[in-house]
Chain A
Amino acid sequence: MIVVENIFKSFDGTPILEDISVTFEKGKTNLIIGRSGSGKTVLMKSIIGLHDINEGKILYDDRDFVTMTQKEKQDLRKEMGMLFQGSALFDSLTVEENIIFPLNMFTKLSQEEKTERANFCLKRVNLENVNHLYPAELSGGMKKRVAIARAIVQNPKYLFCDEPNSGLDPKTAIVIDNLISEITHEFDITTIVNTHDMNSVMEIGEKVIFLHNGLKCWEGSNNEILHSDDQYLNDFIFASNFAKKIRDMEK
C-alpha cells in the first residue's frame, strides 16, 4: 500500500500539485487520470522520488520515503517496477539482456537461472522467441510487453505504469491493460497506472483518482465514474462525440 499525504510540488514557483492525499491499495490497479498537463506524471514521478516534493508525506507500507537517505531510497526502489511511456528499454541490449539487467546488478543467480527467469517473465507477457532481438526490432506493443517483463523480473511489491497505452492501437491497448491487471492480482502488487485513456479506466480501474490543474477533484471506482457530478470529470470523460452519444443513448 502506498499512502500519499498532503503533497505539494512546484517548479520555479509554479504550483503543479496542490495538497494531494490518496491511498493506493495493495492488490488493486489504481489509476491516476486527467488531461494532459494536469499533473499526473509529476505525481507519479514524485511518488517514485524522481522529483523531490516541496511538502507532504509518501509512505510505502508505513515507510516514509521522503525522509529516507539516497541509499535507503535506492534499496526501496529494488521493490519497484516501472513501465515507462516510451518503454525505456536499453537500446544497446537485447530483449533478454534488458530483462535480466536488474538481476545482473542485484543477484548472484547463475546465467541459466537468469535466462530461466527471463523466459518465465516473457512467457507471462505472452512473448516468446524474442530473447535475442534488439528493442529497435520490436513493435510498440512488444516493447511495452518487454518493459512489463523487465518491471516484474524482481518480483516487485509496487508497479508503476506511465501512460502504458500511448501509441498503441485499441486492441493492443486492451491486451496491455489486461496484462497489467492480471499481474497485479496474480502477484498481489500495489499498481499505479497513469492514463488519460477512458478505455483503460473502464477496463481495469478498480480505484481511480482524477486530477485537474494539480488538484485531486474526484476519487472512486470505474463503476462510479460515469455517475459523478464533478463538472471537470464529466468534461474529461465525455470529451468525445462518441462518449457523448453513449451517454445520450443511456439517458
Chain B
Amino acid sequence: MRILSTFGNYILLMRRVFSKPEKVKVYYKQTLQEIENLGINSIGIVIIISVFMGAVITLQTRYNLENPLIPLYLIGLTARDSMLLEFSSTIVGLILAGKVGSNVASEIGHMRITEQIDALEIMGINSASYLILPKIIAAVLFNPFLTIISMFVGIAGGWLASVTTGALSSADYIMGIQYWFIPFYITYSEIKTIVFAFIITSVPAFFGYYVQGGALEVGKASTKGVVTSSILILLFNTILTQLLLA
C-alpha cells in the first residue's frame, strides 16, 4: 500500500515537472548548468571506471580461456560486447546513480528544509518543474555521450591491459573488436542509458523534494534515492533486455 502511495506521489510530481515552463530561456540556462554539473563533471569517473572495467574483462576472459581450439581474438570480441551490452550502460548507470543521485537528492532536500522551495512557490514559480526538469533533460541528453565515451575507453582499456601484460597480442585484440560487430547493440545500450538517466535524476529528486525534517532526513532521503534508483535500474535493465533483444 505504501509503495502504491509513493508511486502515486511520484507520478503527481512528474506531472508538475512536465508542465509548461514559466520562461523557456531561464530553463534553457538552467539545463546548460545541469549538463555541466551532472554530465561534464561525471566524465572523469566514467573514464576511470570504464578503463578498469575493460581491462579486467579482458584479463579475466584471457585467464579463464584454456581451450586451445578457441581463437584468442574472441577475447577482444568478448570485451567489446560486454562493454557495449552491459557495462557502459548498466554499470556506469549504477555508478552515476550513486554520484548524480546523491547530489540531486541532497541538493533538492537541502533546498526543501531551508525553505528555498517554499520561496520559489511564493514567487509563483512551479518549483518542481524549475528544479527537476532541467536535471532530467540534462541527464537524458548528456548521458548517451557518457555511454559512448565509456564504450571507447573501456575497449581501449582492454587493449592496454592485453598489450602491457602480454596476455594477448594487439593484432588479436583489434581483430576481435572488429569481428561480428552488431550495430544494434549500441542502439540498445543508448536506449537503456536514456531510461536510466531518467531514473537516476527523477527518483532521487522525488525523495529530496518531499523530505521533511533536518540534515539527518536529507541524508536518509539521499540514501533512499540512490538505493531505489539502483534497484529500478536493475529492474528496467531486465525488462528492456527482454523487450529489445528477445
Question: Interface on A for B, CB 8 Å cutoff?
Answer: 45, 48, 50, 74-78, 80-82, 84-86, 88-91, 101-102, 104-106, 160
Contact = CB atoms under 8 A, between A and B. Distances in A.
Interface of B: 22-23, 26, 110, 114-116, 118-119, 121-126
Name A's interface SS: mixed
Given A104-B23, A104-B26, A105-B26, A88 B124 contact: no
Contacts of A91: 110, 114, 116
Nearest to A74: B124
7 contacts: A50-B118, A77-B124, A84-B115, A84-B118, A90-B119, A102-B125, A105-B123
Given A104-B23, A104-B26, A105-B23, A78 B114 contact: no
A91 B119 CA distance: 13
A77 B123 contact: yes
Contact of A77 (B114, B116, B122): B122
A77 B121 contact: yes
Contact of A105 (B22, B116, B119): B22
A77 B22 CA distance: 13
Given A105-B26, A106-B22, A86 B115 contact: yes
Contact of A88 (B26, B114, B125): B114
Contacts of B118: 45, 50, 82, 84, 88
A21 B224 CA distance: 41
B119 A82 contact: yes
Looking at B110, B115, B123, which has the most chain A CB atoms within 10 Å of its CB? B123
A78 B26 contact: no
Given A105-B23, A106-B22, A84 B123 contact: no
A86 B121 contact: no
Given A104-B23, A104-B26, A106-B22, A90 B116 contact: yes
A76 B124 CA distance: 7
Nearest to B110: A91
Contacts of A90: 116, 119
A74 B26 contact: no
A80 B26 CA distance: 21
Nearest to A50: B118
